[in-house]
Amino acid sequence: MALSFAGNGTITGLSVGGLPDGCIQSADLASGTGGKCLQFLQFNYSANTSSSSTSWVDTPLVIAITPTASTSKIWLTWNINVSGSLNTVGLALQATQNGSAIHIADADGSLHRVTTQIRPKSYDQYEFTTLTDSFLTGAVGSTSAQTFKLQWKRHWGSTAMYLNRTEDQGSSDRPVGVSTISVMEISA
Amino acid sequence: MDICSAILAINPSAQVSVNAEGTENEKITWHNGTAEISKADIQAKQAELKTAYDNAKYQRDRAGAYPSIADQLDDLYHNGIDGWKATIKATKDKYPK
């Protein structure tokens, strides 16, 4: 069918897929098309981890996403099972994007800036505390891969902290768990 | 006993992470200049800690079986020190050393 331009402002005869790839971008679309999920990735970590580090170190909860548009935002969520030791230990968590802390408290003197923190009590070595959080980034600004990590450190105490396991595994009623980190690309 | 606890028992200042313990992907990462400890030394300490843990089973059993402090105070009030001691002895007898 021949392409025709009518005097009433309409175009007829344009085939599906008839426009060159990329000639219409998300920013060109009418309002109301933003906020859609463009892609979703999830990583489940079902092994265990323990640490005694007093500086930020990576947990195995790491995920990378390559945005399809620089204007997109990334919705980050996680759900992790942590546990302390017989002796109380302070466990701090922070999220990072490409190596920089995100979703972290404002500076407040010398106080310890974290995304979240728990201090399991004695006898909490038998059970999990589940930490869940989410965060929407700003526009990513590029279509390069964005790497998100959960880091943790022991900020108080002298014993170990645990992910997906408890310190005490001396009885079959002790749990082992799975932790999850997810990212969703949200259109502008 | 887990590797991290064994390492801390050898070196209380150790900065270490252990991933996937007990699997073929097990990996120990030493942080902040912590001197590495040999696998043999870690395993020896794990065995030592496990023995101590197993020997203390009666303590864990008793701890879970004793009445709450509130109930023990109530026991003391109503039954006196001998009544309270009898209550506690029942748990000690149930879980001997």
The full DSSP string for A6-27 is -TTS-EE-PPTT-SPTTSS-GG
Three-state DSSP state, A13: coil
> Letter for the amino acid at B2?
D
Tell me the pLDDT tens digit for each residue of A126-152.
888 899 999 999 999 999 999 999 999
- Alpha-carbon dihedral sign for residues B20, B21, B22, B26: positive
Top mean pLDDT of A32-36, A81-85, B19-23 is at: B19-23
A158 to B8: CB separation less than 8 angstroms, yes or no: yes
Distances (CA, A) of B23 to A48, A172, B5: 9, 18, 17
* A-B C-beta contacts closer than 8 Å: 64
Range of weakest confidence among A5-19, B44-58, B65-79: A5-19
Percent pLDDT > 70 in chain B is: 100
In this complex, the residue of B21, B23, B54 whose CB is nearest that of residue A50 is: B21
In this complex, the residue of A50, A60, A158 whose CB is nearest that of residue B2 is: A50
* pLDDT score of A26 more than 80: no
Q: Give chain B's mean pLDDT.
A: 95
> Which residues from B are below 8 Å from A56, CB to CB?
none
DSSP state of A19: S
Task: Grade residue A29 by pLDDT with cuts at 50, 70 and 90.
Answer: low
B8 to A159: CB separation less than 8 angstroms, yes or no: yes
pLDDT average, residue stretch B67-94? 96
State the pLDDT at residue B55: 93
**Chain-centroid distance, C-alpha A34:** 20
Tell me the pLDDT tens digit for each residue of A64-92.
999 999 999 999 999 999 998 877 788 99
In this complex, the residue of A48, A54, A158 whose CB is nearest that of residue B21 is: A48
* pLDDT score of A46 more than 80: yes
Range of weakest confidence among A56-70, A79-93, A110-124, A150-164: A110-124
Report how far residue B58's alpha carbon sits from residue B38's, in angstroms, rounded to the nearest whole number.
32
State the pLDDT at residue A120: 73
State the pLDDT at residue A31: 62
pLDDT average, residue stretch A36-41? 96
State the pLDDT at residue A11: 74
Task: Grade residue A16 by pLDDT with cuts at 50, 70 and 90.
Answer: confident
> Which residues from A are below 8 Å from B7, CB to CB?
52
Report how far residue A3's alpha carbon sits from residue A7's, in angstroms, rounded to the nearest whole number.
13
Residue A93 phi/psi, 5° resolution?
-130, 140
Percent pLDDT > 90 in chain A is: 57
Instruction: Tell me the ipTM for this assembly.
Output: 0.74
Report the chain A residue with the minimal C-alpha distance to residue B8. Answer: A159
Reading the block at residue B27, the tokens are: 């990996």
Reading the block at residue B51, the tokens are: 């023995």
Query: Which residue carries 């309002």 as its tokens?
Result: A31
Percent pLDDT > 70 in chain A is: 94
Range of weakest confidence among A1-15, A92-106, B14-28: A1-15
Residue A30 or residue B97, greater confidence: B97
Min distance A169 CA to chain B CA atoms (Å):
8
Distances (CA, A) of A102 to A90, A95, A110, A114, B58: 21, 6, 19, 9, 47
Report the chain A residue with the minimal C-alpha distance to residue B51. Answer: A170
